[in-house]
Structures are given as C-alpha cells and as structure tokens.
Copies of this chain bind each other. A is one copy, B any other.
C-alpha cells in the first residue's frame, strides 16, 4: 500500500448506511483504511462525522476507490479544483464528462465550492462565469442541451456530493416508509399520514405536483381529484393525452372508456366517446378554449383551467388524437416536466409508470414523493431511484384519492 488519501463522511452516516457502503467499497476494490476520527451523533437529530485514511496499492486503485466513495457522498478531505473542458460541438459532451447523481452537489472552481443548480440524475455539469467578473455558477445540463464550448466538468476531482439524510426518527409524516413495499399494510392509516404530509407542505406554502394516469379516471377517482384541485391542494399536474381525454370524455358523456362511472352501465356507442371527446376539443382549439366556450364544465381538466393550475400534457406514441394541448415532442415535453419537477416540494404519483418515471428522472433526491399503484412492481420500480423521501403505497387509486380527499376536506 503505497498511496493514500483522506476522506470525510458526515451526516447520519450510520443510519443511512453510508459508512457501511464506504467500508465495502474500499475493501471490494482492494484498498484498506485507518479510522482517523469517528464522532457518533448521540441524539437522533445529531449528525456523525468520520475521517478515514484510504490506502491503495497504486494510483489507479486509489482513484477508483475515491470515485466510488464519491457516489455515496464520501468526499476527499483535501479537495482539488474540478476539471473543466469545453464541449466540442452542440449536443456533444467532452470525453470523460462527469455524469451527475440526483443528490445535492457542489463543484470546486478556483478554490471555491459552487453549488450545482437544479441537480438531477445522469446529466452533465456546466460552469459559467469562470475567470470573469461577477459570480461563478454551475448548473445541471441534459446532454442534448449542451452547446459547443460550454465548460463541462470532466473527471472526478473537485466534486462534492451529499445524499440527503434519512433521519432515524420514524415518527415524522414520512416515517412509515420503513419496511418496504407491500400490499399488506394498514391502508387507511397510511393514507391519513399522506394527508398530513400534504397538508403540512401546503401550510408551508409548498408546491404540490400531481402526476396522474388515465386509471385515475377509469377507477372513478376523478371527482375526488377535481375536488382537491378546486380546494387548492394541487399546484401542478403532469399527465398525458390519455388522462386529459378520458377526463373530458367523462365530463362530456359521463363515461370513461365507454363505461358510466356512476351507474356502471355501458351505453351503446360508449366505446367511441373518447374519439368524439378528442374531436370536440380539436374543434374548440384546446381545453382552455373548450372551457371558455362552455363545452367542458366539470372534471379535473376543468378545475385546472379554472384554478390556474400549471398543466403539462406530454405526448406518447400510444395517444389517440392527440389533443391540441399535448406536447408531442418528447424532448420539449421533458423540458416542461423538468421545470415542474424542480418547482415541486412534494410529488404525488397516481397510477402511471411512464409519467412517474419521466418526472422521477428530473427530481433531486430531496423532494418528497408519494407513489400509489395497485401493482407492487410499479411502486418498487419508482422507489428504486434513490430518493430518501419517497414512500410507496400499493393500493387502489380508486379508493385512495377519495379517502385522501375525505381526510383533507371533511
């Protein structure tokens, strides 16, 4: 062992498993370590601190270890500046570019730590203002938004990542997450806890983003969601062409996919209602226009228009129509979803894998997320993205939304 470097861990490094991962990484990669300092936080809300000298047989091994530790939020105690390389062309990142995690990140530029704005996963970091007067800034940039000569962070030096702590205290509104995903959990108590978290976010002036799939309408939960919009619990809605179409169909014809949601009857011709609904909105020029014209008078989309909710309808290749409101270019739609994700303090994902993944891709790991689906595999997949604040409920969205609305509004 001829080379070494000192790294630091701080935060709830025991509870969050950071320390364990740290030891594992070092030994898996053939290194060794001395524990130079280890201060354990004795109270639930106290943080811990550890300083380790990492030893490795050569520079390559040491670099690999330091890279891996970095991914888990273990940072060198003696940082260097980040390496900045100009992008060779539009959309082309320099070789060896640093690909982001979704954790809060800073880069070291000319000896100063600069926080990276709007962090999200699998992006590049672009630094601006280097060597100029005024502030040096760093921002997350998706690969297809890179422009020639952007200064992109490459390599692994001078980057500090800090995963959010998952505090030990299980009594907070999101404490119920421990124990993983399963349908065999007390549903009504858990929905009540989500209601409390949502009320808390709104009381703090926070922004709530709802991501909703067509199943919300088919399962009869549309009225309850419309009520939540009307009462101000929803600041933004991220959905697709199908959700909006079925919601409008329900307002126009009382059916969803051809079934009357109240009487459970299938009126003849019902199966064509969604195509007719689309052509009505196309004729009007859009949903807002159809609301103004008095064509659409109820439902989630109506309440969104009436209450100035920020709506993004993203297109997909399975869409009928689509509605004029639907953004058909997926890159453009991603940019709008990204904006919503960055503004959100809490995200409620309701029965849509596609849109939930799209939103989840843009979220920093610190945003609160509630994910509801009847399929446990969907919930697992959505939670499996490293958010420290995500909780999953395997339940029926058709009873979840009404129960949530009752808890909040009755």
Let me know if A99 is at the binding interface, CB within 8 A: yes
Chain B residues whose C-beta falls within 8 Å of the C-beta of A214 in the assembled complex: 184
Residues of B within 8 A of A276 (CB): 99
B143 x A275 contact (CB < 8 A): yes
> Would you give the shortest CB distance from A14 to chain B, in whole angstroms?
5
A403 to chain B, nearest CB (A): 6
Residue in B35, B190, B256 whose CB lies within 8 Å of A264: B190
A394 in contact (CB, < 8 A): yes
Contact present for B24 and A92 (CB under 8 Å): no
On chain B, the residues within 8 Å of A268 by CB distance are 29, 64, 67-68
Interface flags, A188-214, vs B, CB<8A=1, else 0: 111101000000000000000000001
**Bound CA span A394–B358, Å:** 26
Contact A316 B68 (CB under 8 A): no
Q: Would you call B265 and A186 a contact (CB within 8 A)? A: no
Contacts of A339 in B (CB 8 A): none
User: Pick the contact of A317 from B32, B188, B191, B333 — CB < 8 Å?
Assistant: B333
Cα(A357)–Cα(B24), bound, Å: 32
Given known A122-B275, A317-B333, A377-B375, contact A27–B355 (CB-CB < 8 A): no
Stretch at the interface among A106-114, A157-165, A169-177: A169-177
Asked if A57 is at the interface of the complex by the 8 Å CB criterion, the answer is: no
Q: How far is the CA of A33 from the CA of B188 in the complex (A)?
A: 39
Q: Which residues of B contact A400 (CB under 8 A)?
A: 396, 399
Distance in angstroms between the alpha carbons of A156 and B354 in the assembled complex:
37
A334–B171 CA distance with the chains assembled, in angstroms: 40
Determine the interface band of chain A, counting residues with CB < 8 A from chain B.
35 or more
Closest CB in chain B relative to A408 CB, distance in Å: 16
Q: Known interface pairs A184-B219, A279-B93, A398-B188. Does A322 touch B331 (Cβ–Cβ under 8 Å)? A: yes
Stretch at the interface among A15-23, A127-135, A227-235, A292-300: A15-23
A168 partner residues in chain B, CB cutoff 8 A: 24, 27-28
A328 at the interface (CB under 8 A from B): yes
Residues in B with CB closer than 8 Å to A187 are: 219-221, 396, 398-399
Q: Are A99 and B317 in contact (CB under 8 A)?
A: no
Known: A27-B44, A282-B143, A330-B315. A265 touches B170 (CB 8 A): yes
Task: Write out the residue numbers on chain B whose beta carbons fall within 8 Å of the beta carbon of A189.
Answer: 220, 261-264
- The answer on a CB contact under 8 Å between A188 and B259 is no
Cβ contacts under 8 Å, A287 to chain B? none
Residue A374 is within 8 A (CB to CB) of chain B in the complex: yes
Interface string of A298-342 (1 = CB under 8 A from B): 000000000000000011111111100000111101100100000
Contacting pair A317 B358 (CB below 8 A): yes
Asked whether, in the complex, the Cβ of A358 is within 8 Å of the Cβ of B318, the reply is: yes
Residues in chain B near residue A318, CB distance under 8 A:
354, 357-358, 361
Q: Are B315 and A215 in contact (CB under 8 A)?
A: no
A73 shortest CB reach to chain B, Å: 15
- Does A331 lie within 8 Å of B315, measured CB to CB? yes
In the assembled complex, how far is the CB of residue A211 from the closest CB belonging to chain B, in whole angstroms?
A: 11
Residues of B within 8 A of A394 (CB): 374, 396
Q: What separation, in Å, do the CA atoms of A32 and B41 have in the docked complex? A: 9
- Taken together as a complex, chains A and B put the C-alpha atoms of A144 and B320 apart, in Å, by 9
21 contacts between A and B (CB under 8 A): A14-B24, A17-B17, A24-B168, A27-B42, A29-B268, A32-B42, A97-B279, A143-B278, A144-B282, A183-B374, A185-B219, A187-B221, A187-B399, A188-B220, A188-B398, A189-B262, A317-B333, A322-B330, A374-B395, A376-B377, A396-B396
Given A178-B266, A322-B331, 4 additional A-B pairs, CB 8 A: A15-B24, A187-B398, A329-B329, A396-B400
